[in-house]
Amino acid sequence: MKNLVFGVDIGGTNTAFGLVDEVGDIYAESVIPTKKYLTFDDYPAFVKDLCEAMIRLKDSLSFEFELLGIGIGAPNGNFHRGSIELPANLWKFRPDEKNPDESRRMFNLADDMKKYFPSTPILLTNDANAATIGEMVYGNAKGMKDFVMITLGTGLGSGFVANGEMIYGHDGFAGEFGHTIVETRDGRKCGCGRSGCLEAYVSATGIKRTAFELMAKMTEPSELRDISFEDFDASMISAAAEKGDPIALETFRYTGEMLGRALANAVVVTSPQAVFLFGGLAKAGKFIFEPTKWYMEENMLNIFKNKVQVLPSGIEGKNAAILGSAALIWQKQN
């Protein structure tokens, strides 16, 4: 009988889930709109609707299989506790709730799903850690014991593997390179409430901020100058760079400088064999990889020079998040 696992990716907009086998083939997938369950009070309905949709998907398969487990990737997911803790964009208090106690926003999703899947192992971690394990199980990190994964989405997520094991740390939140402070003077405000975090420079929102800063600083003409901040999308910078747009090219150089410097610091701490770049910004190819590698080497401690590869993810594609979450379970099987 075939063995399958559920991979579940909880995002701010949608929650995608699918049934995945050991080699990464997805047999069925579906989605529910996370953003429909906007408030703290909607969370129980989210759990119910998600689980019922998963059971329907499971029952829709026309062959017999064993469900080995459910792997979940979620923002602020805590592996140790199976919970989603104080997520920035999920299940917030309603604006009319007076002085709500923020500490109540700890969602024990793995426990809460047990009602629907009483005998199925459920593991949960944050979305970047899920991508990291996905890279190890299905992607370009197969066989590597020490590597760093950087996921470039709206924010900058990351995870690292050492001695062949995902590093969660005491609190379950290790590997948050996106919230290392890289600019101590007049750093950009970050969504976390502090200033100067790497994520405020290297992410879809970070690179957009850089493009606008450079439009103010530089005098060169650029097609980017025709687009308002609200209408601006990070992918427009790649399109402009392809045509040699000077602002777009300088935007990538600066972004690569910030990322390369941060990776040089990440390398002395974790001594990885490779660093993988995953997600939207990584799709800009040479525009982001070349300056990143150059500045990483330029800032590298001697003993690490020319030793650490910067590579594209091998699980890039629309199902990467489902694969990564499923890999949480598969990794435990092996």
Residues engaged in binding its own copies (CB under 8 A): 76, 85-86, 144-147, 160, 162-163, 165, 167-177, 179-185, 192-194, 261, 264-266, 268-273, 299, 301-304, 307
Q: Which is nearer to its own copies, 45 or 88 (CB)?
A: 88
Q: Which is nearer to its own copies, 194 or 225 (CB)?
A: 194
C-alpha to C-alpha distance for 78 and 88, rounded to whole angstroms: 14
Q: How far is the CB of 168 from its own copies (least distance, A)?
A: 7
Q: How far is the CB of 49 from its own copies (least distance, A)?
A: 28
How many CB atoms sit inside 10 A of residue 177's CB?
A: 27
Amino acid of residue 11: G
Q: Which one-letter DSSP state was computed for residue 175?
A: -
How many CB atoms sit inside 10 A of residue 157's CB?
A: 27
- Look at residues 264, 274, 322, 270 and name the one whose alpha carbon lies nearest to residue 295: 264
Q: Which is nearer to its own copies, 168 or 212 (CB)?
A: 168
Q: Which is nearer to its own copies, 83 or 222 (CB)?
A: 83
Q: How far is the CB of 227 from its own copies (least distance, A)?
A: 30
Q: Which one-letter DSSP state was computed for residue 230?
A: T
Q: Quote the crossing angle between the two packed helices 246-270 and 204-217, to the nearest 10°.
A: 130
Q: Which is nearer to its own copies, 57 or 86 (CB)?
A: 86
Q: How far is the CB of 322 from its own copies (least distance, A)?
A: 26
Q: How far is the CB of 99 from its own copies (least distance, A)?
A: 18
Q: How far is the CB of 206 from its own copies (least distance, A)?
A: 16
C-alpha to C-alpha distance for 228 and 74, rounded to whole angstroms: 31
Q: Are 73 and 8 in contact (CB under 8 A)?
A: yes
Q: Give the dihedral sign, CA 143/144/148/152.
A: negative
How many CB atoms sit inside 10 A of residue 172's CB?
A: 19
Q: How far is the CB of 40 from its own copies (least distance, A)?
A: 18
DSSP string for residues in 31-77: EEEGGGS-BGGGHHHHHHHHHHHHHHHHHH-SS-EEEEEEEEEETTE
C-alpha to C-alpha distance for 53 and 66, rounded to whole angstroms: 18
C-alpha angle 151-313-125 in degrees, rounded to nearest 5? 45
Q: Which is nearer to its own copies, 170 or 318 (CB)?
A: 170
Q: How far is the CB of 301 from its own copies (least distance, A)?
A: 5
Q: Which is nearer to its own copies, 45 or 269 (CB)?
A: 269
Q: Which is nearer to its own copies, 141 or 320 (CB)?
A: 141
